[in-house]
Amino acid sequence: MNSLSPANKLENLRTIMKKYQQDAFIAMSADPHMSEYLPDYWKIRQWLTGFTGSVGTIVVTQDFAGLWVDGRYWVQAEQQLENTGYVLQKQTPDESSTHLTWLSQHLAKDAKISVNGNTISTQQYSALSALAIEHNFFIQTDLDLIDEIWTERPALPLQPIWQMADDLNAQTRLEKITAIRHKLIQKKATGHFISALDDIAWILNCRGRDVEYNPVFLAHLYIDHSRTVLFIDDAKLSTEMQQRFALDNIEILAYNASIEFLLELKQQNILIDPAKVSISYAQAIEQQSHLVQDINPSSLFKSQKQPIEITHIRSAMTKDGVALCHFFHWLDNALADKESIDELTIDEKISGFRAQQAGFIGLSFSTIAGFNANGALPHYRATEESFSEISGDGLLLIDSGAQYDEGTTDITRVVPIGTASAEQKRDYTLVLKCHIALAQTVFPEGIASPLLDSITRQTLWKYGLDYRHGTGHGVGYALNVHEGPQVISYYAPVTPSTKMREGMITSNEPGLYHQGKYGIRIENLVVNKIKHFEDTTYGQFLEFETLTLCPINLTCIVLDLLSHDEKAWLNQYHQTVRERLAPHLEGDVLKWLNENTQAI
């Protein structure tokens, strides 16, 4: 699309910075909706640097260019930043490792900092603004420096949206809007502005294809006690959708009309989620109204899946499990027949088997198929330019998922290729023990989810081992594969919104990575359900129901390292997998399932 190298683009950026007298440029990995996965138009950090990870922050001055990423991406970033002019900055939970600290230490007093106000959240801007006040920096948010140098910038997507089938949702959109209005009363807010795409899709019971892997559509939404206004390009709306929205008294305004609309609000108290609304919209509201800052009520509502939704999700898991059985049966045969297989083949085959399932929409993220050293990169992705053949001895890590009309899946399995070493088997078993520890956990309802992480990691910590990513992220209902507010990670702050509630779906994915050698991760999705006790003196408790249905490889397990209870959990899990999937399989694939779910 563009023949310029990252070094050329960096040179052009510095030239345009001089033109506008900007001492520093900051680029966040975001769009005006604070999305994780971005439309091509907003992939600024990737376009500038060539780094393809999902998160990262750039800082550029006339004599420095750095990319800040967390431990998941250190190896990948180091490889992809070579000869780009950008220097990897390893970010850790320590505040001293952030780009804000770097700015405070390296910029002169009165320095001018350019950051696109559409791509920095209100919360992030508050931190940057506090730094600017302390050091007398000037922040300019109304410049789009990139637009002047990205001459072949893609257009924003215009994919049509669709209405979910009525029987897939526990509530109508009017019921959800009413629930939000009740929350506005509690928070003493007169209106609510929403930019988060998954929140908007959930509220409206609609889905779209504007963002790869996430069934969402570009839009903003405003709700007060008498109006609901959807800001969207009407090219996305069929006549039927326009009629449906009209019946529900939902007004349609142009996608780019939201700023003007907010500027006209007078003496209102407008609720925004500071982590999910950009500073451009917040400042527009503050021209004549007041901000009420809190988490979107819809974020909490949608995180707690209703019984009918969990039933549909179980159905999606069955479909996914059937597809995975066909895939792993194929893989075993292909390996036995010494077929030529590479990491790209894995992606092609696993996607193909999923596409055969009813209700398949697409993948929920790019498939991670990493053999040996590539598996040690938690977010590795094979490309036509760089991939590995799968041959010899080692471990193949496969992290994949799908979007179905009934739910979202995300699963990781590790397969031995040839002969696994004793070290690999030990490490695999330790990760499995961590996975089982979390799966068996019973915990008080309302506990802060980050606190559960230490239970998971205990086994690895006893061996002086660890991994640099969270153990669990929330998962949407036929929505984003990464969803809050709960997160099982000791890196995450403990806040009121991270409390564990019934119906939340979270990943259980401990791992272990040896750079340059191999990686291991075992992942299932689990749902919080009530654990019933006769004595409720100490309140309500929750436990996990494992939703994912796929055998966990048995050949890498060191049985002596598993306790009786751990073996019992694994046997029960495999019995459930067999009972749920067997009715949908036949022949050699059914035989494969039975063989790979035998009791140990």
The model's pLDDT over 454-496, given as tens digits with 9 standing for 90+, comes to: 999 999 999 999 999 999 999 999 999 999 999 999 999 999 9
Q: What is the pLDDT of residues 256-311, one digit of tens each?
A: 999 999 999 999 999 999 999 999 999 999 999 999 999 999 999 999 999 999 99
Both 288 and 335 in a single domain?
no
Q: State percent of the chain over pLDDT 90.
A: 95
Distance between CA atoms of 270 and 542, rounded to whole angstroms?
35
pLDDT given for residue 35 in this prediction: 95
Number of helices (H), then strands (E), belonging to the chain: the values are 18, 28
pLDDT given for residue 550 in this prediction: 98
Paired with 527 in beta bridges are 505, 545
Give 79 or 433, the one with higher predicted confidence: 433
Whether residue 541 lies inside any domain: the answer is yes
Residue of 416, 440, 415, 414 whose CA lies nearest to 563 = 440
Distance between CA atoms of 526 and 548, rounded to whole angstroms?
7
Both 288 and 308 in a single domain?
no
pTM of the model: 0.95
Q: What is the pLDDT of residues 399-437, one digit of tens each?
A: 999 999 999 999 999 999 999 999 999 999 999 999 999
Confidence of residue 216 (pLDDT cuts 50, 70, 90): very high
Contacting residues for 236 by C-beta, under 8 A, at least 6 apart: 158, 159, 160, 161, 208, 210, 217, 218
Q: What is the pLDDT of residues 119-147, one digit of tens each?
A: 999 999 999 999 999 999 999 999 999 99
Mean pLDDT for 15-19 is 97
Both 358 and 478 in a single domain?
yes
- Asked if the model's pLDDT at residue 569 lies above 90, the reply is yes
Number of domains in the chain: 3
Residue of 448, 433, 381, 447 whose CA lies nearest to 213 = 381
pLDDT given for residue 71 in this prediction: 85
Helix (H, G, I), strand (E, B) or coil at 523: strand
Mean pLDDT for 326-331 is 98
Both 135 and 70 in a single domain?
yes
In which element (H, E) is residue 455 found?
Answer: helix 453-462
Residue of 28, 12, 7, 51 whose CA lies nearest to 151 = 12
- Asked if the model's pLDDT at residue 2 lies above 70, the reply is no
pLDDT given for residue 191 in this prediction: 98
- CATH no. for residue 479? 3.90.230.10
Both 334 and 422 in a single domain?
yes
Residue 276 is encoded by which pair of tokens?
A: 């999910």
Confidence of residue 1 (pLDDT cuts 50, 70, 90): very low
Distance between CA atoms of 23 and 25, rounded to whole angstroms?
7
Distance between CA atoms of 362 and 367, rounded to whole angstroms?
12
Residue 248 is encoded by which pair of tokens?
A: 């529900």
- Asked if the model's pLDDT at residue 522 lies above 90, the reply is yes
Q: What is the pLDDT of residues 20-67, one digit of tens each?
A: 999 999 999 999 999 999 999 999 999 999 999 889 999 999 999 999
Whether residue 557 lies inside any domain: the answer is yes
Both 376 and 456 in a single domain?
yes
Mean pLDDT for 107-118 is 96
Helix (H, G, I), strand (E, B) or coil at 599: coil
The range of the structural domain enclosing residue 433 comes to: 304-593
Give the end of a domain, one of 296, 312, 334: 296
pLDDT given for residue 578 in this prediction: 98
- CATH no. for residue 46? 3.40.350.10
Confidence of residue 386 (pLDDT cuts 50, 70, 90): confident
Mean pLDDT for 538-558 is 97
Whether residue 432 lies inside any domain: the answer is yes
Both 128 and 168 in a single domain?
no
